[in-house]
Structure 1
């Protein structure tokens, strides 16, 4: 499928999506493409069969919305257990935490995921269905009240992670700072030579090396107990928060992993670096978060380090991508990244001297 035209890919994926929906008991449905990258997402608008059997057009309030995900064709073997584990956690969150997150829908065979294949596509695709999370994003219109609510939501997520006990063959990635600044990253000369298009120069390499040294010094003794470390969302950018009738929820749990809670906070607050109201928004977020979940000692200092690591982590993702549009973002993000990392080191040195 990789070599076919975009329109041809979408046609084939739509056929796969229609085949996948036959394995769910949701009635008649209409598909709308949401996004097509490694995974492909369709919005599914379903109507009860009784409405159609009556021979009348469906009423809008009778519709039910879902998101159908067709996973990357590379998701095979053990990777399927990784996806299944994401769905197991979402099921537990929906059942136990009473927070707004996507709810997995079981197939007719009571499975969390299913596989489909069509005649013209050699490789089968793993598919899953999630209930649509109502509400809207407010990424460009966030206020201190919004950030406070986001902090409350994240703290509720981390409280659940603190007590979450996975069962069966539960497989999600385990984060370690060496995955950000080790082999196969921007600090690896072979990776920089092969993947980074000559963009990683001496200044960048020195900054990455210094961050790696600070990470080793500060994180080597940071416990991986449930007070500090657990299953997190790992991609809680403002666009992944959903606001609905006074509640805040989240979508897109594809990157969930075992990690420090501070990494989740770094992802959210890192989006406001350089914002005119950064200090006010940051304070509001912590007000909400700490009303639910206590932060560890020296959290502020550690958070700055996690924000620096997140910046480099995202650089690695950009350089690894095979998507041309993603690669086009690299020069501007690299300029931002180097400035942010330099600022982190300067403020860290200043705090040490004082």
Structure 2
């Protein structure tokens, strides 16, 4: 359980390690968020330097997986595919750093700080989803052409990893407040989703390295610029699953239809979208919703889980009913 006291202990101990990233002892460290990982903003008033430190969740990613994530980010920056924060090495040239925190050795990654804020959901999101569609297509084009090293390792986000035999974010059957009748309904949804994604297939033109978490919290708006952060969940999945991730936590809202249209318009500026691809988007949105329902149950120590709780489960059941009616 990540309590406020534990977060403060990690913050204090990590603050003492800031000089290894070239920051003075007067630099301040502020807690940003706790989700899969725990992140902090470091600010050095004497130099004006700002960076974000990501303390990795214990046991989630292997060192090889984290280094692979950072190698993709570096390639995207080098080839100017998108705007995203650069990973920063410490004074020993290490990108993945071992730091003793809260009684155990934790892995920490530093990133450049990116200016901006997430898109305002109360404002018109269609403009940003138009841009996001274009950026997503550019990511996918790069993913298809980039020559990964033999050592590259990232998780595979297929059906079994989401809702099946090896659920990486927990078992959806354990969703908060899920009643038996609703569990049976969602089982029918899961079975229908399994049939849809298996029929769609995992050929290389449909399945590859994706960001997998392009939700609003991971988008940074500054003027006309749309930056992308947090590749921590990147892995191998369906390319068009990236749209489903983009509408996370608002999947049930009527605005999603407009956002989908804008996203597709932006995507088609870079790459084609087949009828089969477009037809799968509602299935991927439902798949993502059930995955997030499982995540909330298995990450009850996060602020997101505490805020959404059983209400999110009830919304998933309602979405599942609509999804089945539409088959």
Contact 2:162 2:291 in 1 (8 A): yes
**Alignment partner, residue 50 of structure 2:** 65
Output aligned runs, 1:1-354, within 5 Å.
6-7=4-5, 9-27=6-24, 29-37=27-35, 39-47=37-45, 58=46, 63-74=48-59, 79-117=62-100, 121-140=102-121, 141-183=123-165, 192=173, 195-196=174-175, 199-220=178-199, 222-225=201-204, 227-269=205-247, 271-323=249-301, 326=305, 329-348=308-327
Q: Secondary structure at the match of 1:33?
A: strand
**5+ long unaligned stretches in structure 1:** 48-57, 349-354
Task: Give 1:264 shift.
Answer: 0.5
Runs of 4+ residues over 4 Å off in structure 1: none
Q: Secondary structure at the match of 2:111?
A: strand
Count the aligned residue pairs. 322
Contact 2:213 2:233 in 1 (8 A): yes
Any idea what the Cα deviations from partners look like across 1:69-124, whole Å, max 9, x if unmatched? 1223445xx71222222211111111113421121001222221111126xx4311
Task: Give 1:26 shift.
Answer: 4.3
Label 1:206 to 1:168 Cα distance change in 2 as closer, same or farther (>3 A): same
Question: TM-score, normalised to structure 2's length?
Answer: 0.87
Further displaced range: 259-268 or 26-35: 26-35
Q: Secondary structure at the match of 1:242?
A: strand
Task: Give 1:285 shift.
Answer: 1.7
Contact 2:293 2:313 in 1 (8 A): yes
How far, CA to CA, are the matches of 1:244 and 1:324 in structure 2?
27
How far, CA to CA, are the matches of 1:35 and 1:96 in structure 2?
30
Task: Give 1:139 shift.
Answer: 3.2
Give the number of the structure with larger relative contact order, counting CA–CA contacts within 8 Å between residues 6 or more apart: 2
Contact 1:228 1:296 in 2 (8 A): no
Any idea what the Cα deviations from partners look like across 1:40-94, whole Å, max 9, x if unmatched? 21111135xxxxxxxxxx4xxx61221011223445xx71222222211111111
Label 1:111 to 1:296 Cα distance change in 2 as closer, same or farther (>3 A): farther
Label 1:16 to 1:37 Cα distance change in 2 as closer, same or farther (>3 A): farther
Supply the RMSD in Å over aligned alpha carbons: 2.7
Q: Secondary structure at the match of 1:329?
A: helix
Contact 2:11 2:30 in 1 (8 A): no
How far, CA to CA, are the matches of 1:30 and 1:303 in structure 2?
43
Label 1:178 to 1:157 Cα distance change in 2 as closer, same or farther (>3 A): same
Question: TM-score, normalised to structure 1's length?
Answer: 0.81
Q: Secondary structure at the match of 2:138?
A: helix
**5+ long unaligned stretches in structure 2:** none
Label 1:26 to 1:157 Cα distance change in 2 as closer, same or farther (>3 A): farther
How far, CA to CA, are the matches of 1:73 and 1:175 in structure 2?
20
Label 1:228 to 1:108 Cα distance change in 2 as closer, same or farther (>3 A): same
Contact 2:193 2:287 in 1 (8 A): no
Q: Secondary structure at the match of 2:73?
A: helix
